[in-house]
Structure 1
Amino acid sequence: MSIDTVYTITSKATGGGRDGQVYSDTGQIDLDLRPPKEMGGSGEGSNPEELFSAGYAACFLGALRATAEQSGVKPPEGTEVKVTIGIGKDSSDGGFGLTAAIDVTLPGLDQETADKVAETAHSFCPYSKATKGNIEQTVTAHV
């Protein structure tokens, strides 16, 4: 794969990782991180999975709009993408792994078209391509 890079961004983590801070070079991200309650933390901050789910959802929606329009389908008003990221023990190596559930809402389209639009976006989205084969992913289209 050859990438013609048009944009780069750098972020920095300090402190204890999941219990620390993250900053982007632009200053747009300046957050305290805390483990979620489900992982023994206070939950009083963001966490890597929350940040990943937000970035993935925004990227996937952009990919969906681009690929739908290229195929002649105008994304309807109310189109949205919800990405749920899960983290848990990876039984294969004792470490941790991620899951991604991508829910695409395309109100007013027929189910077959919505499924095709969602799958095409999944094959185009940089986040989907980066994680393909590395995390369990599901894509579900709703009309």
Structure 2
Amino acid sequence: MRPTQAVFRAIGAGIHHARSVNMPDARNMLALKDHVYFAKATAEGSGRNGIVKSVGDSPLELKMATPKIIGGKGDGCNPEQLFGMGYASCFLGSLQLMAARANKKHIAENAKVHTNVFLGHPEDPNIEGFGLRVDVTIEGCDDDEVINAAHEFCAYSRALRYGAQVTINKM
């Protein structure tokens, strides 16, 4: 097993309002020409200690809670857990697809993808708040070419490597 890591980069996107000028991004990023699916989620209540809901095919509602280690009650999910779960699932699907495309489907059928999402303070003293680091570990598949292809294909890996378009609107 060899771990694969994604590197996070700061996104310099401005807030977009119907009445304001769009601010350009500080770097190029992956833009979408279309979309084949979208998920809609809403957070309400006390921020990291509120409720999150997702509607659509399979509605989901979760109680959120700040982890005990950073002063919360720890009696619910947190965004880092949800991010890690989504990343692990997306990467596993990409791994299995890339193995199948390489005519090696069998090497990823029983694979597992583990993610560790770390919340911490940025090294740059000019950046306030928290940042993330993600470690991805593949279990049950040691084909470097397939793993690298999965890392290139996975939407989460791409978002972290190239950035994602973010538009913030007001209602």
TM-score over 0.5 for the pair: yes
SS of 2:115's equivalent in the other structure is strand
1:82 to 114, 118, 134: 114
Where does residue 106 of structure 1 map in the other structure? 140
SS in 2 for 1:117: helix
The structure whose Rg is larger is: 2
Q: Which of 69, 87, 93 is the matching residue for 1:56? A: 87
Q: Give structure 1 regions of 4+ aligned residues with deviation exceeding 2 angstroms.
A: 1-4, 75-78
Q: Which residue of 1 aligns with 2:97?
A: 66
Task: Tell me the amino acid that sits aligned with residue 131 of structure 2.
Answer: G
CA offsets per residue over residues 108-134 of structure 1, 9 Å max, x none?
A: xxx4xx222111100110000001167
1:25 paired with 2:55, answer yes
* Counterpart Cα distance in 2 of 1:103 and 1:88: 20
2:69 aligned counterpart, secondary structure: helix
Q: Which has the higher contact order (CA 8 A, sep 6+)?
A: 2
Separation in structure 2 between the aligned mates of residue 90 and residue 69 of structure 1, nearest angstrom: 39
What letter matches 1:35 in structure 2? T
How far the C-alpha of 1:2 sits from its partner, in A, is: 3.2
Unaligned runs of 5+ residues in structure 1 are 135-143
Partner residue, 2:129: 95
Q: Please provide the CA RMSD for this pair.
A: 1.7
Identical pairs, percent = 37
C-alpha contact (below 8 Å) 2:115/2:135 kept by paired residues: yes
Aligned residues: 129
Taking structure 1 as the reference length, what is the TM-score of the superposition? 0.83
The TM-score, its normalising length taken from structure 2, stands at 0.70
Partner-residue secondary structure (3-state), 2:145: helix
- State which of 3, 14, 17 in structure 1 corresponds to 2:44: 14
